[in-house]
Structure 1
Amino acid sequence: MEAPAWFLSFAPIGALYVTTLCLRLLSYLALCLRRPKDLRRSYGSWAVITGPTSGLGRSMARELAGLGLNLVLVGRDPAKLRVLSDAITRSHGIETKTVVFDLSLVSTAQGDEAMQRLREAVDGLDVGVLVNNAAVAKPGAMFLHEAGVEPLMRIVRVNLLALTQVTAAVLPGMVARGRGAVVNIGSGSSLALPSFPLFSVYVATKRYVAAFSRSLYAEYKSKGIDVQCQAPFLLNTNMISSAVRGSFFPVFVVTPDACARAAVRWIGHGGPLCVPNIAHRFQWWISGFAPEVLLDAYRLAQHLQQRAVFSFLRERPEGRGKKQVQENGLTSYHC
């Protein structure tokens, strides 16, 4: 039985679409094989990293230290910053500075004081790389009307306002030296998916990161500064629950160390928006085949399951549920 003429007329369009996706995948593979930049020589001898004491931020700090870059570590916990700083100094023989800065206090009097400390810390340093890694996804899977205003505003302050202010504090030195790289950690949830229900504020801030990076890329490329939004998908950190982790193929849930190795290799390559890890890139590629209505329905169903788990744990006797939530990372999500 022959296919109808109207069906055959769409065949070239489908072939063109598949060909385009395959060419994108091949171009990505070609970039994976190229030689990474010497970051210290290309950009400068210091790197600034926010949120460096756990997860991807800690792995990025170790990876950059391994390449010989000195580090300015920006985080809210002085004890954890000190432990990380000492460990990196011992293992890599580099210089480190720490700046205690609770980024959720940005645009307050305390936040202004911390921002001034950061400016003083980087003053006179040859800062070549800035990694805006710090992010918040708490309170987790909730309808907007269920979440308190303050937790939602904390997401906005950390993911959006603090990232903007830290970038504005470091960029002038890069402009004066005529070189530098700004790496803003985005999210695959805002890149490959049409929606991210029950995490609406989180995903909206991550879309800001992508748009902000794209415009800065155009603004500063001629000044010798590479600006890039790197968008990981699922990472095996405390921002992803064990329930979520188990619902995906293990190959798609990448360790922070593996993601950081790929991320550092991609600095200065791949344009203003990239997905460095090949497993994550494959997730992005295959998501392009699914209709948006199916992606919306699937993601909503997944997040409703998470919401049910969160509610169950919160209703447990005082202490037990809270402790389990913290241990399993069930108050937040990273994608």
Structure 2
Amino acid sequence: MDTDACLRQPEPWFFSLAILGALYVAAFACRLFHISGLALCLCQPKDLRRSYGAWAVVTGPTSGIGRSMAVELARRGLNLVLVGRDPAALQDVSDTVSSAHGVLTKTVQFDFSLVSTPQGDEAMGRLREAVAGLEVGVLVNNAGVAKPGAVYLHEADAEAWVRMVRVNLWAMTEVTAAVLPGMVERGRGAIVNIGSGAAEALPSYPLYSVYGASKQYVAQFSRSLYVEYTGKGIDVQCQAPLYVDTKMVVSMVTWGGYVSQVVMPTPDAYAGAAARCIGHRYPFCLPNLGHRLQMCFNQFVPGRILVVLCFRETLQQRAMHLPRS
């Protein structure tokens, strides 16, 4: 037996490969830590009123995530400007948060599908008037629509796509532009834009092409504003939920009854996690732990497989909502 061979030092290339392997593992661990949002679990929630101001503006606050976000922010002591299209539903939310948490409220009727029309300009004027003189510290751009749902592009009339773009994209931009000047003047504020985890987790979103594209706009818009305004004391964040147990989602999915709340949390559970993330300097995040784990899982699945599975699901959704002959 050649004892010299046994004692021979490893070749230099072995050390190079070992170093490269260690760097790869470290990079993978950092990426997993970032994607999973585990760093957010280590952050303490901010006192939003003390950090940013006494008032919050919430769009689309009458149901689902928006309503739960309004209640959660009121629970944290913020007065609310509630902006939506249904006056009766707005008043109901206003009465609920006022009686439960003793906060002040204002309501602004605004049908976001009419933004940049004469009626929309009038509503935008009412919003600017409502926030004038208020210390608006937090803006939650939650209003969004997924109608007409899972359809091929040619199956819906053009006006349906225009309405979706107005609500999901245009209105969010105009409301943000209306609230930002006051934040800049005071040197503090937080803007939360509700995007979509599906638009981020999937290479494409077939049969929801316009919806997915509009939510990609939300993410890019938020990331860019984050860079523009972080030096002015304003924290901008896109929060991107996957499925949450809301009317909009229940009408979309075909498997909702078989999924636990870990995968599809209630709006209240989601809102609690979302509020804890506000102010922590992540331009993009998935507040819910179950959603973050789903995103991590998607990183290990080839994109082609994800697209095939997604298309199969959206085709089932389309078939479910087709008129029966």
SS at match of 1:130: strand
Q: Deviation per CA, 1:271-297, whole angstroms, max 9, x where unpaired?
A: 111111100111111100111111111
**Is residue 2:245 matched to residue 1:225?**
no
Deviation, structure 1 residue 315: 2.4
2:321 is aligned to: 310
**Is residue 2:271 matched to residue 1:260?**
yes
- Separation (CA, whole Å) in 2 of partners of 1:300 and 1:25: 24
- Separation (CA, whole Å) in 1 of partners of 2:33 and 2:190: 27
User: In structure 1, which of residues 24, 34, 40 is the aligned counterpart of residue 34 of structure 2?
Assistant: 24
Name the stretch that deviates more: 137-146 or 237-246: 237-246
**Is residue 2:284 matched to residue 1:245?**
no
1:301 is aligned to: 312
SS at match of 2:207: coil
Runs of 4+ in 1 over 3 A off after TM superposition: 11-18, 20-23, 246-250
**1:1-335 equivalences in 2 (<5 Å):** 12=21, 15=25, 18-24=28-34, 28-241=37-250, 243-246=254-257, 248=259, 250-311=261-322, 314-315=323-324
Q: Contact 1:244–1:306 (CA<8 Å) still a contact in 2?
A: no
- Separation (CA, whole Å) in 2 of partners of 1:74 and 1:296: 36
1:222–1:15 distance in 2 versus 1, CA, 3 Å: closer
- Separation (CA, whole Å) in 2 of partners of 1:169 and 1:33: 34
1:244–1:104 distance in 2 versus 1, CA, 3 Å: farther
SS at match of 1:36: coil
1:333 is aligned to: none
What fraction of aligned residue pairs are identical, expressed as a percent? Answer: 60
Deviation, structure 1 residue 244: 3.7
Q: Deviation per CA, 1:211-240, whole angstroms, max 9, x where unpaired?
A: 000010111011100000000101000111
Deviation, structure 1 residue 35: 1.4
SS at match of 2:169: helix
- Counterpart of 1:170 in structure 2: which amino acid? V
- Separation (CA, whole Å) in 2 of partners of 1:225 and 1:21: 26
> Rg larger in 1 or in 2?
2
1:324 is aligned to: none
- Alignment length (residue pairs): 305
Deviation, structure 1 residue 32: 1.3
1:259–1:270 distance in 2 versus 1, CA, 3 Å: farther
- Separation (CA, whole Å) in 1 of partners of 2:177 and 2:167: 15
- Separation (CA, whole Å) in 2 of partners of 1:107 and 1:164: 11
Q: Deviation per CA, 1:285-325, whole angstroms, max 9, x where unpaired?
A: 110011111111110000001111111xx226xxxxxxxxx
Deviation, structure 1 residue 16: 5.7
Name the stretch that deviates more: 38-47 or 247-256: 247-256
Gaps spanning 5+ residues in structure 2: where?
A: 1-16
- Separation (CA, whole Å) in 2 of partners of 1:22 and 1:140: 32
Q: Contact 2:58–2:140 (CA<8 Å) still a contact in 1?
A: yes
- Separation (CA, whole Å) in 1 of partners of 2:307 and 2:38: 29
Q: Deviation per CA, 1:163-198, whole angstroms, max 9, x where unpaired?
A: 000000000010111100000000001111101100
SS at match of 2:58: strand
- Separation (CA, whole Å) in 2 of partners of 1:244 and 1:153: 29
Q: Contact 2:254–2:313 (CA<8 Å) still a contact in 1?
A: no
1:220–1:73 distance in 2 versus 1, CA, 3 Å: same
SS at match of 1:243: coil
Measured on the aligned residues, the alpha-carbon RMSD in Å equals 1.8
TM-score (norm 2): 0.90
Q: Contact 1:31–1:270 (CA<8 Å) still a contact in 2?
A: no
1:247–1:305 distance in 2 versus 1, CA, 3 Å: farther
- Separation (CA, whole Å) in 1 of partners of 2:207 and 2:24: 33
Deviation, structure 1 residue 22: 3.5
- Separation (CA, whole Å) in 2 of partners of 1:245 and 1:274: 23
Deviation, structure 1 residue 265: 0.4
Deviation, structure 1 residue 250: 4.6
